[in-house]
Amino acid sequence: MVSFLHAADLHLGMRVTRFNPETSNRIREARLIALDNILKKATELRVNFLLIAGDLFDDLEVDRTTARRAFMMLEGAPLPVYVLPGNHDPLVAGGVWDRPPWDKLTGTGLHLFRECKPLQVEPGLVLLPCPVFRRTSLNDPTAWMAECTPSDSDIRIGIAHGSLRVRDDLPADDHLIARHAVSDHRLDYLALGHWHSRRSYPDREGVERITYPGVHEPMRFPGSFDSRTGWIPYGGPGRQEFLDSGKGEIVHVRIRAKGSAPEIEAVETNHFIWQEQKWELSSEEDLARLIQEVANRTNFDRRLLRLELTGILNAQAMLRLDELRQILTNRYFFGEFDDAQLHIQPTDDEVHEVAAQGVLARVLEVLEQESRDPDPTVRQIAERAILVLYQIARGTE
């Protein structure tokens, strides 16, 4: 039996531009922390080796510090590590793979696939790598396997980076891989990288042998095309395939014998927890439940939480939004809420309290008229102004 971890799309050195500098640096650092989590899982699960199916680095010009740190972590791993260049870090002259320390790997347990040729890693096990040589290509990276005469006894594992041809509208230059490459080339498993959500596909006999493992560390709030980081995939922005699940994961694969169905199990490896949630509020009790729920979550220092608030609250309840804001700001690694669709609805008593002041009553009358304006921007500004007016009145008591 062979047991291994399959990871891809680590994107170390990823550019992060939509947070403040300190937050951005920690999001980048989390990708290295999550890589260390992978190595810990490898030891815990006692696997034979680790496969990284492309895009270890975010680009060819990754900074030297990140390149060296990744090298030191993988070269010092207590098991063999096999790395495939992907479309973000292709094998081109002068790129990261041609610079120290990656240009000298002889004699270490860290292996970089530089050629399309079979590698017998141990008796009964052959790896068939498909390194990427350019960012885009019209060629199927697995096509060369047709020239390899398979053994009747070897477990054959292909490693490639590109888009599996599961539909007709994929970009033609996105390293398209034949839908049934695993059957055509008599592979026991095809370890893929490039797409960012975990998904598996069956061979012609209905056995799941083709897998994208997902990303080891989240890159965005789940379900949002806006990465919130500024990162853009070379395979094309706005594609569903590049939306990760919001949690970091790889897969643990076990193949008991030649021809047997792979046992594929997800393994979580993320450092940060990205969450985006929508809450509809209609009372102060709703808001109180939200505040309590947010305040009682664990792992504040590893959470990025974005809330979208909708509904209508009275002015007294709206004042408690500051309490929610303080929890998100002071406890969470990153927290924010969008209340653009949350509207104020003062009670009669609250309106009377504000209107009891002479000049404030006249201001309130104007704001109430504007709060019924057909322009939603005008309405929102008026509603927020009523809240400010209410706060002023409360402050003068």
Q: What are phi and psi of 94, to 5 degrees?
A: 85, 0
CB 210 within 8 A of CB 187: no
The residue type at 221: F
Confidence at residue 259, expressed as pLDDT on a 0 to 100 scale: 93
pLDDT in tens, 250-267: 999 999 999 999 999 999
pLDDT at 130: 98
Query: Which listed CATH number (3.20.20.140, 3.60.21.10, 3.10.20.30, 3.40.50.2300) goes with 2-268?
Result: 3.60.21.10
What rounded mean pLDDT belongs to the chain? Answer: 90
Specify the pLDDT at position 394: 61
Say how far apart CA 159 and CA 335 lie, in whole Å: 38
Q: Where are the domains of the chain?
A: 2-268, 273-395
Answer yes or no: is pLDDT of 347 > 80: no
> Could you count the other beta carbons within 10 Å of the beta carbon of residue 387?
18
pLDDT at 396: 52
Section 365-389 average pLDDT? 83
Q: Which of 88-92, 238-242, 294-298 has the lowest mean pLDDT?
A: 238-242
Which pLDDT belongs to residue 380? 81
- For residue 388 the two structure tokens come to 């400010």
**Contact status, residue 126 vs residue 94, Cβ threshold 8 Å:** no
Bridge-based pairing of strands 125-129 and 199-202 is unpaired
Torsions phi, psi for 253 (to 5 deg):
-120, 135
pLDDT surpasses 70 at 350: no
Q: Which tens digit of pLDDT belongs to each residue from 185-197? A: 999 999 999 999 9
Please give the residue that has the higher pLDDT: either 249 or 393: 249
Task: Label residue 242 left, alpha or beta by phi (over 0 means left) and psi (-120 to 50 means alpha).
Answer: alpha
Residue 276 amino acid letter: E
CB neighbourhood size of 332 (10 A): 20
Q: What is the mean pLDDT of residues 275-282?
A: 91
| 287-338 confidence digits (pLDDT tens) | 999 999 999 999 999 999 999 999 888 878 888 999 999 999 999 999 999 9
Instruction: Check residue 346 and give its pLDDT.
Output: 65
- State the average pLDDT over residues 143-162: 92
- Looking only at the bridges linking them, the beta strands covering 189-193 and 208-212 are parallel
Measured distance CA(218)–CA(229) in Å, rounded: 11
- Placement of tokens 């193949």 in the chain: 255
